[in-house]
Amino acid sequence: MRYTSRDYLSAALRVQSLLYRGPYFTLEPPALVEFTNSSGAEVRCQADGSPKPSVRWETASGVRASQDGTLTVRPFSAESYRQGVQAAFYRCVAANVVGSVASRLVHVLGLLDERLQARAQDDVVIRGSSAVLRCKVGRSQAPYSAFDAWIRDDGYSISRPTYKGGVWRKAGLRFSPERFLEIGEGTQGNGDFERTAK
């Protein structure tokens, strides 16, 4: 049997395809990683190929963040919170001589591990008039808190109704997603209220 140069080239390419393989992920990171400031986080990424690919982390804009397969976000104090680090997008990139592959964007989100403090804003009204009680929560806590109940100083509780958006009204009380309680004229709303949240 006689071999041509085309046969040799084809055989060489088959051998080369056995020796070289582009990178592929064996452990791809999740799309969202949430952690508290007291715990920090480690996000792992692993890839294989031939030759063995290098694995690194970079920001969404391409700035290198880590030279190995683990993205480490250290615990931090509330005062040292930086959005570009503790609430940012990263991706894992694996590369070898054949090429490179990038993971989906991973949203790394650091949450402040602090006690929720909800305060009812003091207000004075004339008996028989309407009153609007507003609840204040810290700016960093607001997106992660939910209205739960208003509790009067005598222990009477006005719980959050079940509703799908908008405003809920009953017996002169009006609840709103914006964290306020309106007590209408003639409603038995006398006394001090405090708000609970979760």
| pLDDT, position 64 | 86
Of residues 104 and 184, more confidence is placed in 104
Asked if the model's pLDDT at residue 168 lies above 70, the reply is no
Q: Which residues of 80-90 are buried (b: 16+ CB within 10 A; e: fewer)?
A: eeeeeebebeb
Q: How many domains are there within the chain? A: 2
Q: How far apart are CA 32 and CA 105, in angstroms?
A: 9
Of residues 14 and 82, more confidence is placed in 82
**Residue entry with tokens 């509780």:** 157
Residue 12 sits at φ, ψ, to 5 deg, of -65, -40
- Asked which of 70, 92, 111 is the last residue of a domain, the reply is 111
Q: How far apart are CA 90 and CA 87, in angstroms?
A: 10
Q: Which two tokens stand for residue 1?
A: 């049997």
Query: β-pairing, 64-66 with 70-73?
Result: unpaired
Query: Helix (H) and strand (E) counts for the chain?
Result: 2, 18
Domain assignment of residue 46, given as a range: 21-111
Asked if the model's pLDDT at residue 23 lies above 90, the reply is yes
Q: What is the pLDDT of residues 49-99, one digit of tens each?
A: 999 999 999 988 888 888 888 999 889 887 788 877 788 999 999 999 999
Three-state secondary structure call for residue 100: strand
Do 133 and 90 lie in one domain? The reply is no
- Is 13 within the bounds of a domain? no
pTM above 0.75, yes or no: no
Q: Which domain CATH number covers 131?
A: 2.60.40
Q: How confident is the model at residue 121 (pLDDT cuts 50, 70, 90)?
A: low
Output the average pLDDT for the chain.
74
Do 158 and 187 lie in one domain? The reply is yes
Contacts of residues 86-92 at CB distance under 8 Å and 24 or more positions apart, as own/partner, are 86/37, 86/110, 88/59, 88/60, 89/59, 89/60, 90/43, 90/57, 90/58, 90/59, 90/60, 90/65, 91/57, 91/58, 91/60, 92/25, 92/28, 92/29, 92/45, 92/47, 92/55, 92/56, 92/57
Rounded to an integer, the average pLDDT of 133-146 is 64
Q: How confident is the model at residue 11 (pLDDT cuts 50, 70, 90)?
A: low
- Is 122 within the bounds of a domain? yes
Do 40 and 99 lie in one domain? The reply is yes
| pLDDT, position 84 | 77
- Is 138 within the bounds of a domain? yes
| pLDDT, position 17 | 60
Q: Which two tokens stand for residue 102?
A: 């990038």
- Asked which of 91, 111, 131 is the last residue of a domain, the reply is 111
- Is 50 within the bounds of a domain? yes
Spatial CA neighbour of 177 closest among 187, 166, 185, 169 = 166
| pLDDT, position 106 | 95
Do 172 and 131 lie in one domain? The reply is yes
| pLDDT, position 36 | 87
